[in-house]
C-alpha cells in the first residue's frame, strides 16, 4: 500500500472521525456472514488488526526487512495490479511471494478481479494482469496451498472502475 493508503487504514483503525467510511463494505461482509451487527464487526476488526505494515509484493519477502510469518494474509485487488501488464508468470510469482508470509497451516485470503486490463481510481488508470479463476487457483496450489473455498461473483454493471465482469474470493490453507 502507498503511505497515504496505509494512513487511511490507520485512521479507520483509530476510529478517527475523518477516516474513510467503510461501512458499506463491512455491511456487505456482515450480510454474507448472516450477521447484521456492523458495529460489533467493526469493533472485532479493530481489535484483531495489530498493525498496518509496509509491503512490496514484488519482493520474495514482501515485508523486508521485517522477517515474520502470519496466521492470515489477505490481499484485495492488489496482486493483479502489481503484476501490471507483465506475463501471467509474474502473477504466479507474486502469489509465491505472498505465500512466504503465511505460517504452515495459516490462511491466504484473496479477493481478485477476474480477467481485466485496467483499474481506474478517479481519472488515473492502472494496468492489470488479472488471471482467470483457474489460473489463480493453480498458482495458489503451486505455491503450497490447499483451496478451501473459491467463489465467483459478478461485478455490478454500474461499477466502472475496471473492465472486468467478475471477481473471485479464494480462501486457501498452507500445507
Q: What is the pLDDT of residue 168?
A: 94
C-alpha cell at 29: 461482509
104 Cβ contact list (under 8 Å, min separation 6): 174, 175
pLDDT per residue over 66-122, tens digit each? 999 999 999 988 888 888 767 789 999 999 999 999 999 999 999 998 888 887 877
Model pTM score: 0.80
Q: What is the pLDDT of residue 4?
A: 87
The domain covering 54-174 belongs, at the CATH homologous superfamily level, to Vaccinia Virus protein VP39 (3.40.50.150)
pLDDT per residue over 20-78, tens digit each? 998 988 887 788 778 879 999 999 999 998 888 889 999 999 999 999 999 999 998 88
Q: What is the pLDDT of residue 1?
A: 61
Q: Pick from 22, 132, 43, 16: which is nearest to 80 by CA? A: 132
Residue scoring higher pLDDT (175 or 50): 175
- Cα distances from 88 to residues 45, 85, 125, 170, in angstroms, run 33, 9, 20, 18
> End-to-end distance of the chain based on CA atoms, in angstroms?
27
Q: What is the pLDDT of residue 72?
A: 92
pLDDT at 140 exceeding the cut of 90: yes
pLDDT at 158 exceeding the cut of 80: no
Q: What is the pLDDT of residue 35?
A: 80
Give the start-to-end residue ranges of the domains of the chain. 1-52, 54-174
Amino acid at each position: 500500500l502507498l503511505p497515504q493508503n496505509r494512513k487511511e487504514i490507520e485512521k479507520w483503525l483509530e476510529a478517527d472521525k475523518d477516516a474513510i467510511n467503510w461501512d458499506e463494505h463491512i455491511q456487505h461482509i456482515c450480510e454474507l456472514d448472516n450477521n447484521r451487527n456492523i458495529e460489533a464487526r467493526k469493533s472485532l476488526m479493530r481489535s484483531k488488526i495489530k498493525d498496518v505494515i509496509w509491503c512490496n509484493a514484488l519482493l520474495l519477502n514482501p515485508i523486508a526487512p521485517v522477517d515474520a510469518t502470519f496466521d492470515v494474509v489477505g490481499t484485495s485487488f492488489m496482486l493483479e495490479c502489481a503484476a501490471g501488464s507483465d506475463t501471467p508468470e509474474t502473477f504466479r510469482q507474486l502469489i509465491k511471494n505472498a505465500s512466504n508470509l503465511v505460517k504452515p497451516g495459516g490462511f491466504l485470503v484473496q479477493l481478485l478481479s477476474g480477467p481485466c486490463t485496467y483499474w481506474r481510481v478517479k481519472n488515473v488508470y492502472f494496468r492489470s494482469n488479472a488471471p482467470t479463476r483457474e489460473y489463480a487457483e493453480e498458482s495458489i496450489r503451486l505455491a503450497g496451498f490447499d483451496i478451501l473455498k473459491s467463489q465467483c461473483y459478478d461485478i455490478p454493471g454500474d461499477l466502472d472502475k475496471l473492465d472486468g465482469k467478475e471477481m473471485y474470493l479464494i480462501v486457501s490453507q498452507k500445507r
